[in-house]
Every structure is written in C-alpha cells, then in structure tokens.
C-alpha cells in the first residue's frame, strides 16, 4: 500500500470543485489553473473530510445536542420518520454519502465515495470489510490525532483510501451508542474515537 | 427421352424454393413483429404477472435493441424508481454503490433489478415476480446469529418468503417496529381511515388552475361549454351533481385544459388522461404505474379485462381501463369507483366474498349514514389506500394511491398504510399471512401466533436483560 498515487485528473478536478466551497479560496482562478492537477489525492481527501466533519459536528452540536439533549424540545431517533424525530448525525452523514453516490453516477467527472464505519458498529454492515479499512480503523484508534492513508484495489479499480478518526464530539454521541441495544461497546466517553470516516478516490 | 430437368436445373429449383420459403418466412415474421398482435412469437418466454400487460410492446422494456443491461435497468428505474428509495426501500441501490461492496457485487450484483427479477422465465419465477438467488441474503448477513441469537440455525433461503422480511419495503417488519406495536389489540380504539385533503391544499398546488376555477359551487346554468357544443342533458345533470361542480370545476377545465399562458385548448369531447392530468397529475402518474394504467402510460391502447390473468366477469370483456372506467365521466362518483367499479370486472374468490364481509357492512353503514364518516372499508380502502404522500418538495397531502400494485406483492406492504388504520400489528400480520382468510375476505379471526413477533419479543427481552446487568 503506497501513499500519494497519481490521481485521475477528471476525478481530481471534479472533487476539487466540490470541496472548494468549504475549504479553498479561488482567488486568481483561471481555466488553465483549473485544469492543472495540482492537488494530491491526500490533500483532496483531507479537504473533503474537513467539510464532512465540520458539517456533521455543526449538526450534532448545534441541532441534535442543543434541541434533543439540552432543550429537550424534540428527540433524535434512528426511526426518525416513525418517531417524528430528528435524523441521527450518523444517518445524516450516510444519507449524504448515498446522495453523493447517486449524483456522482450522473456526473462521471466527480468520482469518489465515503462511508462511516467502526470496529464497534451498531449495524454490522458498517464494520470494516477490506484490509485497508480494518488496518485504518484500528490505526486511528491507536494513534489519536493521526490519519491513515493507503491504496487498494477493489473490483479491478485502484483507489486512494483515507481513514479519519470519528470522535464523540458531544455527550449524545457516546450515550446513544452506549444505550443502543445492538451496540457491541457500551463504555464510550466524549472525546473517544468511536469509528472512522473512509474516503475513497479512484486513481489510475 | 430427354429429362425435363437436368441436375443443374434441379439444384436451381431447390435454391429457388429455399429463397421463396425464406422470403415468405421473413416476411411473415416482419408482419408479425410490426403488427403488434403477434409479438409474443419473439418472446423467449411468457412475461411475469406484473408485466404481461405489455406483451405487445417489447420496446417498453427493450427500448434500444442493442442497449443491453444498462438500458433495461434504466427502464426498470423509470417505472419503479420512486419506490426504490428510502424509506420505501431498506436496500436502495445507492447503499451498494460504495466500492467496499465490490466483492459482494461480484457474487450477486444487487444493483441490477434483473439479478432478482429476471423476466421471461416462468419456470423459475416465484410469487411477486421473484427469481432471486437462494443465497442472496447470506452474502451480507451470514453472521446474523451473532447479532440476533434468535436466528441461530435458520436457513438463508426463506428470509423474505416466510413473511418475516421484505428486501425492499420492510417498514412494517423491522424489529423495533414489531416491538413497539406487538401488544396492540386486534381492533384499535379509533377505526377510521385517513380523510382526503385535496380541497384544503389546492392553494399550495402550483399546477392547479385555482384562478380560472375558484372553489365555489357551480350550477347547471353555469356550464361554460362553447356555443358550438351541445351538451347531453343527462351528462349536464351528472356534472352538476358532481364534486367537480361543487368545487367550481367547469366543463372547460377537462374538455379544454389551458396552456401555460392560460389559453384554452380546442374542445375535446373525450379529453382522455389530459383532461384529468391538469389537476390530478399525481393520481394520473400513479395510475400509469399500476397494472390498470401501465398501457396508457406507454401510449398503448387501454388494458382490457380479456387480457387479465385473474378471473374476470365475462360481461366486462369489452371494458377499457381509463380514469372514466371506474370514475364514470361527469358524475365522478368516488363511492361507485371504490366498490362497484372493481366488482364489475373482478371475479376471484376474494372479490366475490367481499359483499358478505364485515368490511362491506361497514362500508354500507357509512354510505347510508348509520356509520361514522371514514369508518367504511371498500375495495379501494385496502387496494388504493389514502396515503400521506410527498407530492412536491414542500407539500405532502393525503392522496388516494392510484397504483393499486404499490401496497401489494407482497401483501405485508399493506400492513402500515391499510390494516393498521384499524387493526393491531399482530392481528394484521396474522390475517395477511392466512391464504384462506384472504380468499374469504377476512371472515374469521386470524391465527394470533406470529413467529416474527415472538422473535422480536425475545430480542427485546434480551436487550432488557443486558441493560439490567
């Protein structure tokens, strides 16, 4: 597994445009500069993760934790439609990932995927499957503050794969997981690494 | 004596005969292909119950002769895509798009509808058009016993056929839902179906021409037909007694639907779907997705009872299935559409038993005023239920589901939108799982023992024990 491979240029540009809104200042933008592959897959994945992580942290702290835990004006539930409740932060994240998968299909120039996984998953389908996922999720637990980068081949396609720690940013993160009937771990505390965000970018 | 034909002439004659026969064969096949009547000649096998209505329209699914799988898949999605998303589908395609599922998709590519719904293969097609591989659940859920000890030792070949799980619409069968509703009584405290709310949200339906047809009672004298049109007095009387006249919908609304600039179209005596579509686009679209309307949606001649596989009354043979077949032009009597229109064609055991059922007694009571409004149970109550539907990005309203297949096949899809308006979950699952009760239109009590609820109860108990430790 080698870091920093050459990125598919079209993917790179598409992804750069998508991530740019939250992370890059496009001062002095020109067509030529836009077509130049000047961003490494690692930088691109880091940028994407920063947007994802910030959006979710805002949702968790400013909406779920404030309204459900603090103000107690509404609940948050995995069965949000049946319970007339807020979508859980992890579900908000997954729905976004599924929407990206659908939208990217209609726009081949934007080609990346991401998911939220854990070595203590509530839904067993979110346990690591590939070697990079297994190694990466353990790495971010054992090395707090560090990310994990690798390349892997899946279904005949090479990917740059990045794994970022997913940390309990609010008390509700830990308490929900600890109380869930299908959670294999029940002693999470705020600040603990509970899982990881896996971002994949296809490379040539 | 010289022979009439030499060897060479004989060979030429054989070739000539072959040429003539081949040309005749090709010609007759071409005629059959383009005539639309004999296209089943070209089918690799009969179509399933859900698609045989389109047997003369190969291009409804095979739009591009050389398009292959992607074209077929796109056409599946065009008709069925709305139901293949959350929350209606617990296995939406998007879930499997992540590359981490590549090895699973190599075994069974569940992102393609044909992996579990192969057409033209009646010999392997089970109920609900299923041709799924027997191990389709195993590849992702092989460790289920670790998560759900109650599932230890269960085979993976009947997860979806036993009534426990539905691969797509699992909303009435997931564990937490079973646990939450498992102790409901057989009959709920309030036995009422949802009320339609079209008239109350008209202002929010952008395409509804409320400026031209404000909600106000119209009388027969108010009809706005052009001078060139002479109205049949009986039709005029029907219209003036209809909900259309009560809601301010004049003749021109259906017979001369206006364009975007508000200009009225030329009068059409029989406006067809276009006349309905200008105000009832949601219902028309849904009708086109069900068995009744799918031919019209494809631009084909309407479906006729003669092509049905279910038993139909012989005297309905010449009926055509359009909006007016059930609603009746001008009067638009929804009570007629909800029962008599159905029973005018359908002759299966379930339909024939309806008028002896307690559901029909409730329907009659509501109609004659002795029963509470919304307490009757018609054919449409169950097969075309009133559902809260997101009809745009900002509006949801109670719509009569005109795709009568949507909450059917398997019938567990009826539990939430239909049965649970009046009945408890256990009662509902038990009733729908009993073929004899379905056949006699639910005359009798269902077996209260539902195994999936037993399993959910065990799971809930296990969780409580775990919490108390």
pLDDT classification of B462: cutoffs 50, 70, 90: confident
Which residues on chain B are in Cβ contact (under 8 Å) with A115? 98, 100
**CB pair distance less than 8 Å for B100 and A102:** no
- CB contacts of B101 in chain A (<8 Å) are 129
Q: Is the peptide bond before B205 cis (omega within 30 degrees of 0)?
A: no
Interchain contact, B463 vs A99, CB within 8 Å:
no
DSSP A62: I
Number of H helices, E strands in chain A: 6, 4
pLDDT digits (tens, 9 = 90+) for B42-97: 888 999 999 999 998 888 998 887 777 888 999 999 999 888 887 788 898 888 88
* Residue A79 with chain B: CB contacts under 8 Å: 176-177
| Residue A43 at interface with chain B, using a CB cutoff of 8 Å | no
What local confidence, expressed as pLDDT, does residue A28 receive? 47
**Stretch B327-344: mean pLDDT, rounded?**
94
B100/A154 touch (CB, cutoff 8 Å), yes or no:
yes
Interface check for A187 against chain B (CB to CB < 8 A): the answer is no
The Cα of B367 is separated from the nearest Cα of chain A by a number of Å equal to 32
pLDDT band, residue B149 (cuts 50/70/90): confident
Mean pLDDT of B147-163: 83
Nearest CA in chain A to B148: A182
Average pLDDT score over chain A: 86
Is residue A7 pLDDT above 60, yes or no? no
Q: ∠ CA A15-A21-A27 to the nearest 5 degrees?
A: 100
Q: Which of chain A's residues have a Cβ under 8 Å away from the Cβ of B176? A: 79
Whether residues A124 and B466 touch (CB distance < 8 A) is answered with no
Q: Which of B97, B106, B463 sits opposite A181 (nearest CB)?
A: B463
The mean pLDDT value of chain B amounts to 90
CA-based nearest distance B347→chain A, Å: 37
Listed by number, the residues of chain B in 102-131 with a beta carbon closer than 8 Å to a beta carbon of chain A are: 102-103, 105-106
Residues of A in contact with B70 (CB under 8 A): none
Judged by CB atoms closer than 8 Å, whether chains meet at B100 and A129 is answered as yes
Chain B residues whose beta carbon lies within 8 Å of the beta carbon of residue A105: 97
**Alpha-carbon span B300 to B137, nearest angstrom:** 38
- Please state at what angle helix A9-23 crosses helix A41-58, rounded to 10 degrees: 40
Contact A99 B94 (CB under 8 A): yes
Show residues of chain A in contact with B459, CB under 8 Å: 181
What b/e readout covers A37-57, taking b as 16+ CB neighbours within 10 angstroms?
Answer: eebbbbbbbbbbbeebbeebe
| 8-state DSSP, A8 | P
- Cα end-to-end span (Å), chain B: 113
pLDDT at A11 over 70: no
Q: How confident is the model at residue B159 (pLDDT cuts 50, 70, 90)?
A: confident
Distance in angstroms (rounded) separating the CA atoms of residues B177 and B181: 6
Question: What ipTM describes this predicted complex?
Answer: 0.77
Model confidence band, residue A30 (pLDDT cutoffs 50, 70, 90): low
Residue of B nearest to A158 (CA): B99
Contacts by B51-57 with C-beta closer than 8 Å and gap 24+?
Answer: B51/B119, B51/B129, B52/B307, B52/B309, B53/B291, B53/B294, B53/B295, B53/B303, B53/B307, B54/B294, B54/B295, B54/B298, B54/B300, B56/B300, B57/B295, B57/B298, B57/B300
Tell me the percentage of chain B whose pLDDT exceeds 70.
98
Model pLDDT, residue A9: 45
Which of B86, B99, B455 has the highest number of chain A CBs within 10 A, making it the mutation to test binding with A? B99
CB contact under 8 A, A155 and B95: no
In the predicted structure, residue A10 carries a pLDDT above the cut 50: no
d(CA A182, CA B273): 50
> What's the rounded mean pLDDT across residues B440-459?
88
Mean of the pLDDT values across residues A130-154?
Answer: 97
Residue A37 to chain B, least CA–CA distance (Å): 24
The C-alpha of A119 sits at a distance from chain B's nearest C-alpha, in angstroms, of 14
Q: Which residues of B touch A156 (CB under 8 A)?
A: 102
**Residue B422: is the preceding peptide bond cis (ω within 30°)?**
no
CA distance A129 to B175: 25
Instruction: For chain A, say whether B463 makes contact (Cβ under 8 Å).
Output: yes
Query: Which of A73-82, A167-176, B1-10, B387-396 reaches the highest mean pLDDT?
Result: A73-82
Average pLDDT over residues B358-370: 97
* Structure confidence at residue B427 (pLDDT): 94
Whether A166 and chain B come into contact, CB under 8 Å, resolves to no
Closest CA to B296 of B332, B319, B321: B321
CA distance, residue B147 to nearest chain A CA (Å): 7
Question: Does the beta-carbon distance from B97 to A102 stay under 8 Å?
Answer: yes
B140 interfaces chain A, CB cutoff of 8 Å = yes
pLDDT at B386: 96
Residue A28's CB is within 10 A of a number of other CB atoms, namely 6
Contact A82, B177 (CB under 8 A): yes
How far apart are alpha carbons A70 and A89 in whole angstroms? 16
Predicted local distance difference test score (pLDDT) of residue B7: 80
Taking the Cβ of residue B177 and every Cβ of chain A, the question of whether any pair is shorter than 8 Å is answered with yes
CB contact under 8 A, B98 and A102: no
Cβ of B87 within 8 Å of Cβ of A81? The answer is yes
pLDDT (mean) for B279-295: 94
Residues of A in contact with B87 (CB under 8 A): 81
Contact between A98 and B94 using a beta-carbon 8 Å cutoff: yes
Q: Name the minimum distance, in Å, from the CA of A124 to any CA of chain B.
A: 8
Q: Is B163 helix (H, G, I), strand (E, B) or coil?
A: coil
pLDDT at A27 over 90: no
DSSP B234: H
Percent pLDDT > 90 in chain B is: 58
Q: For residue A200, list chain B residues with Cβ-Cβ distance below 8 A.
A: 98-100
Among B52, B38, B14, B34, CA closest to B310:
B52
pLDDT at A8 exceeding the cut of 70: no
* pLDDT score of B63: 85
Q: What is the distance between the alpha carbons of residues B171 and B86, in angstroms, rounded to a whole number?
A: 10
Domains of chain A (ranges plus CATH)?
Answer: 9-62+109-203 (3.30.450)
CA of B450 to nearest chain A CA: how many angstroms apart?
22
CB contact A84 to B (< 8 Å):
no
Lowest-confidence pick of B56-65, B173-182, B216-225 = B56-65
The mean pLDDT of B129-155, rounded to a whole number, is 88
Contact B333, B324 (CB under 8 A): no
> Which chain A residues have a beta carbon less than 8 Å from that of B143?
124
Calpha distance B414→B431 (Å, rounded) = 11
Give how far Cα B301 sits from Cα of B53, B269, B322, Å: 11, 18, 10
Residue of A nearest to B463 (CA): A181
């Amino acid at each position: 597994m080698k870091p920093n491979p050459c990125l598919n240029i079209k993917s790179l540009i598409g992804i750069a445009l998508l991530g740019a809104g939250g992370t890059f200042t496009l001062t002095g933008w020109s067509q030529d500069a836009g077509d130049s592959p000047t961003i490494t897959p690692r930088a691109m994945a880091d940028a994407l993760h920063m947007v994802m992580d910030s959006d979710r942290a805002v949702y968790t702290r400013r909406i779920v934790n404030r309204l459900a835990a603090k103000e107690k004006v509404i609940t948050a539930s995995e069965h949000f439609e049946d319970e007339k409740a807020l979508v859980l932060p992890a579900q908000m994240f997954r729905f976004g990932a599924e929407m990206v998968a659908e939208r990217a299909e209609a726009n081949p120039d934007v080609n990346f995927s991401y998911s939220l996984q854990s070595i203590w998953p509530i839904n067993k389908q979110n346990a690591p499957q590939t070697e990079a996922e297994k190694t990466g999720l353990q790495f971010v637990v054992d090395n707090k503050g560090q990310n994990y980068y690798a390349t892997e081949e899946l279904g005949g396609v090479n990917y740059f794969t990045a794994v970022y720690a997913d940390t309990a940013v609010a008390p509700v993160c830990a308490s929900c997981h600890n109380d869930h009937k299908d959670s294999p771990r029940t002693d999470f505390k705020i600040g603990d690494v509970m899982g990881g965000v896996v971002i994949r970018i296809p490379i040539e | 004596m010289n022979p009439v034909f030499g060897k060479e002439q004989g060979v030429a004659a054989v070739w000539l005969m072959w040429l003539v026969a081949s040309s005749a064969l090709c010609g007759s096949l071409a005629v059959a292909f383009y005539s639309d009547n004999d296209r089943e000649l070209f089918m690799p096998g009969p179509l399933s119950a859900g698609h045989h209505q389109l047997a003369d329209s190969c291009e409804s699914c095979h739009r591009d002769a050389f398009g292959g799988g992607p074209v077929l898949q796109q056409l599946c999605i065009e008709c069925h895509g709305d139901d293949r998303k959350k929350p209606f589908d617990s296995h939406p395609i998007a879930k499997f798009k992540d590359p981490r599922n590549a090895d699973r998709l190599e075994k069974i590519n569940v992102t393609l509808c044909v992996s579990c719904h192969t057409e033209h293969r009646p010999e392997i097609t089970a109920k609900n058009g299923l041709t799924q591989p027997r191990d389709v659940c195993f590849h992702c859920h092989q460790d289920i016993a670790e998560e759900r000890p109650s599932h230890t030792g269960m085979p993976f070949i009947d997860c979806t056929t036993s009534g426990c799980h539905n691969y797509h619409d699992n909303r009435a069968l997931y564990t937490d839902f079973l646990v939450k509703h498992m102790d409901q009584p057989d009959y709920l405290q309030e036995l009422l179906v949802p009320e339609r709310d079209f008239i109350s949200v008209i202002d929010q339906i952008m395409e509804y021409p409320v400026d031209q047809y404000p909600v106000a009672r119209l009388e027969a004298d108010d009809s706005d037909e052009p001078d060139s049109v002479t109205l049949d007095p009986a039709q005029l009387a029907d219209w003036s007694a209809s909900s259309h006249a009560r809601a301010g919908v004049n003749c021109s609304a259906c017979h001369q639907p206006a364009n975007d600039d508000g200009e009225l179209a030329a009068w059409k005596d029989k406006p067809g779907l276009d006349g309905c579509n200008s105000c009832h686009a949601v219902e028309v679209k849904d009708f086109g997705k069900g068995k009744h309307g799918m031919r019209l949606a494809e631009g084909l001649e309407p479906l006729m009872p003669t092509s049905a596989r279910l038993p139909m009354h012989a005297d309905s043979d010449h009926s055509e299935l359009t909006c007016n077949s059930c609603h009746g032009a001008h009067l638009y009597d929804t009570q007629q559409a909800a029962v008599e229109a159905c029973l005018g064609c359908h002759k299966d055991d379930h339909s024939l038993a309806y008028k002896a059922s307690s559901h029909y007694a409730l329907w009659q009571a509501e109609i004659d005023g002795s029963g509470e409004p919304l307490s009757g149970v018609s054919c449409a109550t169950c097969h075309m239920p009133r559902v809260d539907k997101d009809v745009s990005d900002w509006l949801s309203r109670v719509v009569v589901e005109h795709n009568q297949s949507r909450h059917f096949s398997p019938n567990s899809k009826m539990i939430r939108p239909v049965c649970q308006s009046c009945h408890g979950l256990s009662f509902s699952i038990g009733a729908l799982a009993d073929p004899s009760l379905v056949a006699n239109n639910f005359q009798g009590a269902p077996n209260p023992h539902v195994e999936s609820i037993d399993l959910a109860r065990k799971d809930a108990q296990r969780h409580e024990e775990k919490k108390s430790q």
